Amino acid sequence: MEPKLALYYSKYCFFCQKVLMFLRGKDFDLELRSTSDGTHAQALMQGGGKTQVPCLRIEQAGGEVEWMYESDDIIRYLS
């Protein structure tokens, strides 16, 4: 089963734009979560431990969750 993906991002962040540009035109089942929504910002801080964006939340079928913070790592993971 495929992992469940959510990308935390800010529209003002260059590194986020880089990841969003990479995603453009691709068919990923991925939820976009803007940190301008306080609920998402809080979930990022609580789950990942810091507010830095972009961050890809990867939830495995077994429930294990990884928070991937570096834009290059995120693009590599999705490539």
Ligand X SMILES: N[C@@H](CCC(=O)N[C@@H](CS)C(=O)NCC(=O)O)C(=O)O
Q: Which two tokens stand for residue 23?
A: 């995603």
Helix axes 14-23, 71-78, angle to 10 degrees: 10
The CB density around residue 48, as the number of other CB atoms within 10 Å, is 19
CB of 13 to ligand X, least distance (A): 3
- Contact between 56 and ligand X (CB under 6 A)? no
DSSP-derived pairing of the beta strands 55-59 and 4-9: antiparallel
Site string (7-46) toward ligand X, x via CB under 6 A: ------xxx-------------------------------
Identity of the residue, 31 or 72, whose beta carbon is nearer to ligand X in the bound complex = 72
Residues 58-77 binding ligand X (CB under 6 A) are 70-72
Residues of the shown chain interacting with ligand X in the complex, contacts defined by CB under 6 A: 13-15, 50-54, 70-72
